[in-house]
Structure 1
């Protein structure tokens, strides 16, 4: 794509936003379009001509200034880029300066007087902003930046602008909100909130009172990370080196948590171990063990998180174990080392990066977990739930929520730093270009027994938990032991009537349809943008590449609770007002799940020789043509994997979106949380079963479409499995 072509497309988008599209957001929804070209649906030109938005005339002037060199076909890249930058800055700054109550920056009063209030930007404003980004990209390409390729320039500038707007800006907003009190900046308020006793109290050490939420969160995260990693390691060693034949069962155990809403495990634990749970009642009736509420608090939340996170650790660690070159272990055995010595001195050191990754993932997932602490936490508060109640509780305290979010974010970044320090600068490369056809060393007998003593009871426990989830919605009251079959709970949520056509009468249909719609829209955007960013980062060299990669990965390090609160604060007023819309849910999912698509794309591109790109360029193909005809067909598995992950995660997420849903746009997981809070446990479990079935169909369909990648390495002979 040439720079002039991109410039003309940008001008077309700008003219469309100026002449036809509604400049402001439609308060009345799509019905407001009936008033076009007046009312809420008025385009910018109509607003300028009637004098109600007189201060926006510079938009017309800047578009006209950019039109001259582009239409004339002259090489004026500096002018075009500068004009686009000025247009972008002007639209955003004026929207920030003049809001719903008129002028917000009093120091502009002598210059602007008292302009009327204005709503947030609509599709017209969005098109003009897109035109500005296109002009900046075309101008930079004309000046020879990005190799003179306008397509690459537009990808870099456009993706950078989106990441700044929907990742970096919300983070800055929530960080700054912690220092605001009564509408004014108050550094003392920030210090007081960060050092508040509710966060740092150690009363649990000296009395029977609870500790601060920071210590609770830190303790839970450490225990969850260590326990899930150890359980996952036991399964991984048994699967890869233990000679077990239960691979289908292992496979099922890894898939179920991926397609289960994160807090549904808590519901099953309550059914089993609650005060009137099945196990609790049985122990009371058979052994006269008193009923208790031990499941509510740290033990219950830890158990739920371990159940959810251990399968993910297993997937990561199994791949790492299978990737270890057998030649290194064989060399150690040849030198006379016993099996346990080989494991301790060769296998275990090579597993350190994977173990560190699992510990980090478990720690971060525990920090971000909202559903399990909400359902099972009881008096054991953590940062995620305390942030939620600071926003949605009786006392609306956004400053306090922002300060708690800063503490949560600090714990997350601290975990990343500790992982880097632990791994250091050592190299852990075992897969090279040389052939490696040796047989993996079997586990030492004692280690195999230890792993089995952990894995098999845990698998039985996992099966019991998911059995409760699958049957709980089809019996009268599983929590009280009434196991009579019934469709009542399913019909309450998903009743269908046939009066003058099909009518969805169940209370859960709206949230299910909205969830599927939002997931189906966000997943392709996430996968597409992720693959494009991966291609940029892996195949292109340009100024600011490191910054773009940092912004891309930043959202992975931000807990979902923090993301939700930051989106509320950043997009609740002009110039960009999104709260209460489906668009904010879609954007949240896109940028929350983007890092997984990017890392998957980079990993897939690492297996594709760059000579293919170079051959395409030698034949005269541009970057766009090379990407479309050479790279994308080879990235099909990575694209489908990103689609599957994005869709499933959008269907099951709760920590971020619970702050962003509205009565009109409710999601399945938030609906289930509401049913739990209302005591409708059976309906919540029934809905969870429906979600699991939907997710299972999607994952199996994608796996059938793409297949599974396997590492071709021969297994150890059965006769060598005995120590």
Structure 2
């Protein structure tokens, strides 16, 4: 289909407007971060003082090593859990498998910091399990704080991503290869390592890299249970918050270092995806088999135990939200609605409505821009849309804490004074989730034949009318399903919100975090339960819209 040759048609105008929005909310903030990291505010001269300060002091550069240690350990542990779980769910007939898959998805969409808070309730210094073990064995276990706790929480929250990817790959695996190996005398273990794993290595690498990027940028978990074990997102937050109003060049330098790290990871992911990608046609898909004896017992025990650990944070926060507390921290064991009374009647309920209101506004903007950008980059290819396509992918490499700080730099002074407003919160949500919506919308448009649009135009419809009456309606089911998943992640956003919020724009995630920091565990549980229920309802709506019980990632 030929593009309209008029220089200022609606498509070119839309492209330029969207590009301006992205330049304002992505390129401009990142430019200011770069500028502040290498320019001395007093003299205006170029300097490496802030960057050298980071590398000269072990207190600072050790955070990169800490982040890599945590990320590598959590990624490997996620793989160790997710790979066998996906294989067993595809190979062995597990009772309640449909419910199990839904529980795994729920554990995946839950914010990691809720998991951290829940494990504090269980294995913190005053945790239920901690006190039980110490009283029973006379030990002095001090809780899961530090490296081990961070790895535990992030692994249990990340392995569902590995599971979802590998489970999808196993669907496309031709089981005749597995059967051929069996006929040659290969055992189950040998077939696993000689046939299955080599065939799904591209998927394993892709999912592992996504987990790696997600874990290394996580702020809430190490902030809540890391204590003395500092990671780079925590260092960025603490340095920026302590230096607001003073010298923020060092905070900008930390942001640039973090961007470089995530950029390298992103490029590695793209290289791996291009070199190791291939398609499989399952002439004979892997079928679920009913096993007997100890294999059946061990398979069920492993699956149920892993899923229980994954869903435990949601169960804990929901249960404790109905328990009475003394001083906010000590649970009396009595059931009570006091926590909900505190947050719904004695506190400002605006944090709940802020979450829904800003989330809905963000999703509307994401859907509109996502559909337009994907259409322009697929159907109206030119130099400008290619630039737009590239700029729209930048948020992939911007961690939430870096985005929040860059927004403060960009929108605290004239001519763009947006700090403390709803708009800056909404745009942070939009920028964070936009690439994922664009990617999914682009895939949907790729499945729509251009001949349908050409037929509408040949019948007298304009290009814009064809877009509104033909393309958009065909895209909507898939786009709305993707919007629901984006909504779940938007309302769970913490890393940028914790930097940008004010008392008038506080969200549920920020409230949960602040209540935990203040030691008001009862209130934190009630807020967490509301967020969890909202996510579950949204997930059920997603299932209703798509007519399936799976999530594409």
Shared fold, TM over 0.5: yes
Distance 1:477 1:440 in 2: 51
Distance 1:550 1:331 in 2: 45
Structure-2 separation of matches of 1:199 and 1:405: 16
2:459 equivalent in structure 1: 619
Query: Quick check: 1:197 aligned with 2:57?
Result: yes
Q: Is the 8 A contact 1:527 1:646 kept in 2?
A: no
1:240 to 79, 85, 90: 90
RMSD (Å) for aligned C-alpha atoms: 2.9
Is 1:467 aligned to residue 326 of structure 2?
A: no
Q: Quote the Cα distance in structure 2 between the aligned partners of 1:387 and 1:219.
A: 18
**Contact kept? 1:241, 1:441, Cα under 8 Å:** yes
Check the 8 A contact 1:469/1:688 in 2, yes or no.
Answer: yes
C-alpha displacement of 1:531: 1.8
CA contact (8 A) 2:498 2:510 kept: yes
User: CA separation in 1, counterparts of 2:288 and 2:379?
Assistant: 40
Counterpart check, 1:153 vs 2:1: no
Corresponding residue of 1:524 = 364
Q: Alpha-carbon deviations, 1:147-192, whole Å to 9, x = none?
A: x681221232122221122112211211221113334233231442
**Corresponding residue SS for 1:393:** helix
1:172 to 1, 13, 31: 31
Q: Is the 8 A contact 2:441 2:479 kept in 1?
A: yes
Give yes or no for contact 2:77–2:155 (8 Å, CA) kept in 1. Answer: yes
| Structure 2, unaligned runs of 5 or more | none
Tell me how far 1:602 sits from its aligned partner.
1.7
Distance 1:649 1:268 in 2: 19
Q: Residues 156 and 349 (structure 1 numbering): CA distance in 2 closer, same or farther, change over 3 Å?
A: farther
8 Å contact kept, 2:206–2:273: no
Aligned residue in 2 for 1:360: 209
Please report how far the alpha carbon of residue 280 of structure 1 lies from its aligned counterpart in structure 2 after TM superposition. Answer: 1.0
| Equivalent in the alignment of 1:593 | 433
Structure exhibiting the larger radius of gyration computed from Cα positions: 1
Tell me, yes or no, if the aligned pair for 1:149 and 1:623 is still in contact at 8 Å.
no
> For 1:429, what is the secondary structure of its paired residue?
coil
1:523 shift after superposition: 0.7
Structure 1 unaligned segments of length 5 or more: list them: 1-139, 202-211, 496-505, 712-723
Q: 1:230 aligns with which of 62, 80, 83?
A: 80
Partner of 1:312: 161
Distance 2:195 2:461 in 1: 48
1:648-674, Cα deviation, whole Å (9 max, x unpaired): 222111101111111222112112211
Number of positions where the alignment pairs a residue of Structure 1 with one of Structure 2: 543
Cα drift, residue 341 of structure 1: 5.1
Q: Distance in 2 between matches of 1:254 and 1:539?
A: 37
Q: When the two structures are superposed, what TM-score results if normalisation uses the length of structure 1?
A: 0.70
User: 1:460-499, aligned counterparts within 5 Å?
Assistant: 460-477=308-325, 480=330, 482-495=332-345
* Counterparts of 2:179 and 2:469, CA distance in 1: 44
Residue in structure 2 matched with residue 324 of structure 1 by the alignment: 173
| Structure 2 CA distance for aligned equivalents of residues 153 and 327 of structure 1 | 51
Alignment of 1:630-709 (within 5 A): 630-708=470-548
Give me the whole-angstrom Cα distance separating, in 1, the residues matched to 2:36 and 2:361: 31
CA distance, structure 2, for counterparts of residue 158 and residue 575 of structure 1: 19
Q: Does 1:279 align with 2:129?
A: yes
Match of 1:290 in 2: 140
Partner of 2:112: 262
2:45 to 182, 185, 189: 185
Quote the Cα distance in structure 2 between the aligned partners of 1:258 and 1:615: 43
> Distance between the aligned counterparts of 2:299 and 2:443, measured in 1?
31
What SS does structure 2 have at the residue aligned with 1:195?
helix
Q: Deviations over 1:25-83 (max 9, x none)?
A: xxxxxxxxxxxxxxxxxxxxxxxxxxxxxxxxxxxxxxxxxxxxxxxxxxxxxxxxxxx
Aligned-pair distance for 1:282?
A: 0.8
| 1:550 lines up with 2:390 in the alignment | yes
Deviates more, 1:475-484 or 1:221-230: 475-484
- The answer to whether the Cα contact below 8 Å between 2:166 and 2:204 also exists between their aligned partners in 1 is yes
User: Secondary structure of the equivalent of 1:483?
Assistant: strand
Cα distance per residue 1:423-445 (max 9 Å; x no partner)? 553441114xxxx5524166999
Q: Tell me which of the two structures has the higher relative contact order, counting C-alpha pairs closer than 8 angstroms and 6 or more residues apart.
A: 2
Q: Measure, in 1, the Cα distance between the counterparts of 2:101 and 2:287.
A: 23
1-structure distance, mates of 2:25, 2:493: 18
* Distance of aligned partners of 1:153 and 1:449 in 2 relative to their CA distance in 1, 3 Å threshold: farther
Offset at 1:409?
1.4
After superposition, give the CA deviation of every residue in 1:105-142 in whole Å (9 maximum; x if it has no partner).
xxxxxxxxxxxxxxxxxxxxxxxxxxxxxxxxxxx97x
Counterpart Cα distance in 2 of 1:354 and 1:453:
26
Kindly report which structure 2 residues correspond to 1:374-413, keeping only aligned pairs within 5 A, or say none.
Answer: 374-393=223-242, 396-413=246-263
Q: Which residue of 2 aligns with 1:34?
A: none
Cα deviations across residues 434-479 of structure 1 (Å, max 9, x unaligned)?
xx55241669999999876654322232343332111111112396
Counterpart Cα distance in 2 of 1:564 and 1:447: 50
Deviation at 1:337, TM superposition (A): 6.2
Preserved CA contact (<8 Å) 2:107 2:311:
no
- 1:535 has 2:395 as partner: no
